[in-house]
Amino acid sequence: MQPVRQPTRHIGTRGSPLALYQAEWVQRLLRDRDPETDWQLRILKTSGDTIEGELKDFGGKGLFTRELEEALLDGRIDLAVHSMKDVPTVGHERLVIPALLPRADVRDAFISVQHASIDALPEGALVGSASLRRRAQLAARRPDVRFCLLRGNVQTRLRKLEEGVCDATFLAVAGLDRLGASDRITQAVPTDVMLPAPAQGVVGIEIRREDQRMRDMLAGLNDKRAELSITAERAFLRALDGSCRTPIAALAEWNGSTLQFRGEVLSTDGALRFGCADARTIETVGEAYDFGFVHGEVLRSDIGGRITFDI
């Protein structure tokens, strides 16, 4: 008698250590829910992994998700694992993200070999970062610092920092925690100093919209509070036509049943900074979306033509 063949499902992921950690986390969760299926990882290279210049010059958001979504659409993979801060606010009509995992630490990490904090940086210090948001926020606080482009995965950037390429850099606390590299954090930057990127610290799982069996399975993994929080943040970003060309930050945090929202837009040099803050009881995705979107529209109107929103 022939053994029953175990059904196989493919989980798409980028190949960086952090992306693999997140994909393996999803793989373990799915094995627990459906041990009869063979959940296999399929590593794909994305555009964001290969370019060497500024992300904004190559299309911005979507560079780390496009190839994964193409593999979903043509059936090479059955689900894709994303860092939600990399996911464009307007998705493909045939794809859906039915599960968001619990949110990790949202803060940015300041990392330096010699300097204990942002304020301890010497005048004219060189800071390596590929993030326009982080550069603008730091420039607003420390207009004397200089910047250089620092790209690559977490390990690559830490190695370049140790080699003296720059005096300091920034990474997400969540990513360092997940990689067991929390000891590399010099300073976890308070959110009132550096408001994070929309959806920072959240892992999402994307599938084909018509795959109802997968949708049903993943529904049990969805963290509702994370979903409502980043729905508001991503709606704020969408209202602003946010791209990698405009520094935009947003954070929605829970205080009981109340969602406390903060958002900001900066000029790339940090000289102009516009913000908003509000709190509201939120129960549904629709309410969260409207909450964030309205604040994005109002802030954009307040800014007028003082900051250019490039798409």
Judge whether 34 counts as a catalytic residue: no
Instruction: With beta carbons less than 8 A apart as the criterion, state whether 140 and 124 touch.
Output: no
Angstrom distance (rounded) from CA 141 to CA 6: 57
What distance, in Å, lies between the first and last C-alpha atoms of the chain? Answer: 60
Residue 181 phi, psi dihedral angles, 5° rounding: -115, 30
Distance between CA atoms of residues 286 and 266, nearest Å: 27
Give Cα separations from 49 to 85, 110, 157, 200 (angstroms): 16, 23, 14, 19
- Ordered DSSP codes for 237-291: HHHTT--TTS-EEEEEEEETTEEEEEEEEE-TTSS-EEEEEEEEE--SHHHHHHH
* Phi and psi torsions of 40, nearest 5°: -110, 145
Interatomic CA distance for residues 12 and 41, integer angstroms: 6
Phi, psi of 282 (to 5 degrees): -125, 130
Q: Are 108 and 134 in contact (CB under 8 A)?
A: yes
Catalytic residue among 78, 86, 105, 167: 86
Q: Is the dihedral of CA 191, 197, 203, 208 positive or negative?
A: positive
Q: How far is CA 62 from CA 126, 139, 148, 244, in A?
A: 29, 26, 23, 10
Chain CA centroid to CA 125, Å: 27
Give the catalytic positions in this structure.
86
